[in-house]
Amino acid sequence: MKIAVIGAGPAGLAAAFDFARAGHDVSCYEASGQVGGLAGGFKAEGWDWSLEKYYHHWFQSDQAIHQIANDLGIQDKLLFPQPVTALFHEGRFYAFDSPISVLKFPGIPLLDRLRFGFVGLYLRLTSNWKKLEGYKAHDWLTRYLGKRAYQILWEPMLEGKFGEKYYKQVNMAWFWARIHARTRCLGTYTGGFQAFMEALAEGVRNQGGKIHLSEPVLNLEEVEGGKIQLKTPRGEETFDRVLTTSSPQVLQKTAPTLPAQYLEKIQELKSLGAVVLVLALKRPLGPGIYWYNLPKKAGFPFLCLVEHTCFISPEHYGGDHLVYCGDYVPEDHPYMKMTEEEVVEAFSPSLARINPDFSREWIKGAWLFRTPYAQPIPFQNHSNNIPQFQTPWKNLYWASMSHVYPWDRGTNFAVEMGRNVAREILA
């Protein structure tokens, strides 16, 4: 078959790799000038490794990454350090990444901590997520953890991630997925995620696939015989099968003649965007903590602070100490329109709450990244809302971040989804 894949992110490249390996004629189209999608990275002067534009890591349990790395022959380049994750409570940060650290946490009584442990154990052991998606996480956790423990431990994270408008509507299956398969050891790739994506792209090319960078797809149309015509700035081409890995919004724009009922269904899929400020500092910011969960009600202007160089040594980045300040926001949020300097001005004062000695003079460099589609919002019984991979045009398939549900978005589940939809198309 002659197959087109739209999007050279993890899902698109994983699918293209399997198509090409099966002997098909594959062309992958990517609007930007590099592969990687939201997992892509950049490299500043003096850095040996790339840095992700949007912070990423794997978990040691991420089987899809292990499998494709093995297929590509790059398994030895996966790295799994064990950094520290911390929770903010009453002006201090507490390690919160192991049963022992939870038991030591003073923010709730011991009985609540034990209850927290039993609930976590249940979520780790049960596989019945379909039952859980009928409940709102806010209600379920309040009931089984207790109001006090929920309000201190999980409500700030849910509210920070989904905002006041949506966080009480997120279903429990999504929360289950965040607990069920995660590990303390977090993973990355030698050279950074961009190096991993380049290795995956090279795997596609080695199997005979073609990757067209800086070539956006402008329009998709079903033509005679059920084939799909694809239009780019270079012209038009017809394919036996097309897989698009775009957002719901981009699918509506590129395939506006899909049946109206189908387009209405995907319009109902809600999501949030993301804004990430990356700072290169002259000195370490914190005491060796990698991930800080920050409650908005405590006055932090963003959800999460990640000191990347407490995970990967600063020697790979020319001695720079790298910090992410990230938030999930609606597309019309002021952060999505502010200049880089304005975002630095808004975010940097909070760094002094991590380290009182911090000053703006520590900042050597700053990079601002934004995307309108970063976090799908899973409502109750959300599995009923997600369309199948195959669209009403029988030879057009769609696999987006929204399709990885109940799992949270990330490269592991993007790769798994890409390979699953490739398997369906090949069948």
Which pair of tokens denotes residue 62?
A: 């991420």
Three-state secondary structure call for residue 316: helix
CA-to-CA distance for 353 and 269, rounded, in angstroms?
A: 37
Could you tell me the domains of the chain? 2-44+193-269+383-426 (3.50.50.60), 99-177 (no CATH), 271-376 (3.90.660.20)
Nearest to 157 by CA among 304, 3, 375, 366: 304
Segment 289-324, tens digit of pLDDT: 999 989 888 899 999 999 999 999 999 999 999 999
CA-to-CA distance for 419 and 21, rounded, in angstroms?
A: 12
Q: 307 with 85: CB under 8 angstroms?
A: no
Residue 372: asked if its preceding bond is cis (omega within 30°), the reply is no
Segment 378-426, tens digit of pLDDT: 999 999 999 999 999 999 999 999 999 999 888 999 999 999 999 999 9
Please tell me the predicted confidence (pLDDT) of residue 391. 97
Residue type, 57: H
- DSSP label of 408: P
Segment 215-251, tens digit of pLDDT: 999 999 999 999 999 999 999 999 999 999 999 999 9
Whether the per-residue pLDDT at 358 is higher than 80: the answer is yes
Residue 378: asked if its preceding bond is cis (omega within 30°), the reply is no
CA-to-CA distance for 164 and 126, rounded, in angstroms?
A: 29
Q: What is the mean pLDDT of residues 192-199?
A: 98
CA-to-CA distance for 131 and 139, rounded, in angstroms?
A: 14
Neighbours of 48 (CB within 10 A): 11
User: Residue 287: what are its φ and ψ, rounded to 5°?
Assistant: -90, 30
Q: How confident is the model at residue 102 (pLDDT cuts 50, 70, 90)?
A: confident
User: CA distances (Å), 3 to each of 20, 255, 257, 355, in order?
Assistant: 9, 17, 21, 53
Q: What is the mean pLDDT of residues 96-116?
A: 82
Segment 128-179, tens digit of pLDDT: 999 999 999 999 999 999 999 999 989 988 998 998 899 999 999 999 998 8
Q: 156 with 297: CB under 8 angstroms?
A: yes
CA-to-CA distance for 397 and 390, rounded, in angstroms?
A: 4
